[in-house]
Structure 1
Amino acid sequence: MRSSFPTIFARKAELADRFYSHLFVHLPEVESLFGDDFSKQKEMFAAMLTYCLKGVANSQSLPQARAGLVKVHARFNLGPREMELAGKAVMAALEDVLGNDLSTKQREIWEQAISGVMQLLLAETDTKLAPQC
């Protein structure tokens, strides 16, 4: 997984473009949430991706990254379907950008990591949306 980090860092803008292309194929109804020009959103995606990758590398910034993602996305009331499809969009973007440099083993590791992040986000979102007693 870490061996793909340099390519991802170098091509993070392309990865963001590919992510949103795939996201809108899987979830066309969310495209309207971004308006006509979502270049800032792409920049935020690339920045968060970089932050998450650094968190994987040093295992310290992931909790903050997750908290930031939850805070930003909680207002959208995303459910399991949306999280799964967003995860698939991330994976498809990685496959587009890394191409043949993404080995079968790396693909499996990325799929597990993405799935784990989506599950954590979903669990955290559910907790924040649950009624407080």
Structure 2
Amino acid sequence: MEVQDIEVMQSSFAKIYARKAELAERFYAHLFALLPEVEQLFDGDFAKQKEMFASMLTYCLKGVANNQSLAHTGASLAKTHARYGLGAQETEMAGRAVMAALQDVLGDELSPEQVAVWKQAIQGVMQLIQAEGHADLETQS
């Protein structure tokens, strides 16, 4: 990411952080609408899952200025989710769910520039998850 993109993301950090619980709620609503079959994977402590989503979102926000942290986040997410065998479609849908949640919760509070940069960042994280997932599968073969 370019320096100005990072600054644009950071300018929205406080708004997003303040509403991270609501973002987690909306993310899962969108995820289950897009991929209803994954809802069965969340039969345990769903409150804890939402908390973990909010924590990972916070980690991503804080690490956005450091591309290595973002890569580490993608690798960590890929390892955490590897057991689910997520493919390109699932990671793309998860990215869409994150963007839809941001739109639901923050709507007009995000500028078009912020929306574009967030979309780019979310796509980047999803690509990292996909790449790491493939790398893990290759090392297991």
TM-score bracket, normalised by the shorter chain, equals: over 0.9
Instruction: State the shift of 1:73 in Å.
Output: 0.5
Aligned to 1:55: 63
Identical positions, percent: 65
- 2 CA distance for matches of 1:11 and 1:17? 10
Cα deviation code 1:39-93 (max 9, x no counterpart): 1000000001000110003445323322221111011111110011000000000
**Are 1:13 and 2:9 an aligned pair?**
no
Instruction: State the shift of 1:116 in Å.
Output: 0.8
Q: Structure 2 unaligned runs (5+)?
A: 1-8
**Are 1:25 and 2:45 an aligned pair?**
no
Pick from 102, 118, 122: which aligns with 2:130? 122
Q: Could you tell me whether the CA contact under 8 Å between 2:71 and 2:125 is conserved in 1?
A: no
Pick from 67, 91, 97: which aligns with 1:89? 97
Give the ranges of 4+ consecutive aligned residues of structure 1 lying more than 4 Å apart after TM superposition: none
Distance 1:132 1:28, change over 3 A: closer
Q: Structure 1 unaligned runs (5+)?
A: none
- 1 CA distance for matches of 2:67 and 2:88? 26
Cα deviation code 1:86-123 (max 9, x no counterpart): 00000000111111111111111111111111011101
Q: Could you tell me whether the CA contact under 8 Å between 2:70 and 2:125 is conserved in 1?
A: no
- 1 CA distance for matches of 2:20 and 2:97? 14
Q: CA RMSD in A?
A: 1.6
Pick from 101, 106, 117: which aligns with 1:109? 117
Pick from 71, 81, 84: which aligns with 1:73? 81
Aligned to 1:46: 54
